[in-house]
């Protein structure tokens, strides 16, 4: 069903289209928030200090690559920051899906769901490259499993 066909029948189903738009916006907002929270959390749990080898020179570390997406971590020695980026598969290549770098590309509606679907790959890749993260997320997993 096209958006146009939904709008043409708006008098017949105005409540339905309104509810679908509200529900869709809420779902996209939730997925966007989860992506941002999890990516920033994983970067923060690295506990890297300014002397870490990642900060000696600009580094681009491919954390995970699949047919759906590529996750990378970049380090910036000048200001000692890390950035994460997800490029999503698109027409035989990759396009920007999400980045923690401000002012890069926008986190658009059409990429939110696809980036969200790639979060398990990001976490898996982070555990592979930074094994210490598995111990650092244990309290979070324990809390999630708790009956409290």
For residue 121, what is the enclosing H or E element? helix 119-129
Q: What is the pLDDT of residue 9?
A: 57
CB atoms within 10 A of CB 67: 5
For residues 121 and 91, which has the higher predicted lDDT (pLDDT)?
A: 121
What does the block give as tokens for 27?
A: 């779902």
Q: pLDDT-based confidence at 134, cuts 50/70/90?
A: very high
CB atoms within 10 A of CB 48: 17
List Cα–Cα distances, 73 to 84, 92, 100, 122, 125, in angstroms. 5, 22, 10, 10, 10
Q: What is the pLDDT of residue 87?
A: 92
Query: What percent of the chain has a predicted confidence (pLDDT) above 70?
Result: 89
For residue 122, what is the enclosing H or E element? helix 119-129
pTM above 0.75, yes or no: yes
Statement: residue 85 has pLDDT above 60: yes
For residue 63, what is the enclosing H or E element? strand 59-65
Q: pLDDT-based confidence at 89, cuts 50/70/90?
A: confident
Statement: residue 74 has pLDDT above 60: yes
Statement: residue 118 has pLDDT above 70: yes
């Amino acid at each position: 069903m096209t958006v146009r066909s939904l709008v043409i029948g708006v008098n017949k189903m105005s409540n339905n289209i309104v509810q679908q738009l509200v529900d869709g916006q809420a779902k996209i907002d939730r997925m966007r928030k989860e992506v941002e929270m999890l990516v920033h959390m994983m970067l923060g749990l690295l506990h890297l200090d300014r002397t870490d080898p990642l900060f000696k020179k600009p580094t681009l570390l491919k954390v995970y690559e699949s047919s759906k997406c590529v996750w990378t971590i970049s380090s910036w020695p000048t200001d000692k920051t890390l950035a994460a980026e997800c490029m999503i598969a698109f027409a035989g290549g990759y396009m920007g899906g999400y980045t923690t770098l401000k002012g890069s590309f926008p986190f658009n509606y059409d990429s939110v769901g696809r980036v969200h679907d790639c979060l398990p790959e990001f976490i898996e890749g982070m555990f592979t490259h930074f094994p210490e993260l598995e111990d650092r997320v244990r309290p979070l997993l324990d809390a999630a499993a708790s009956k409290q």
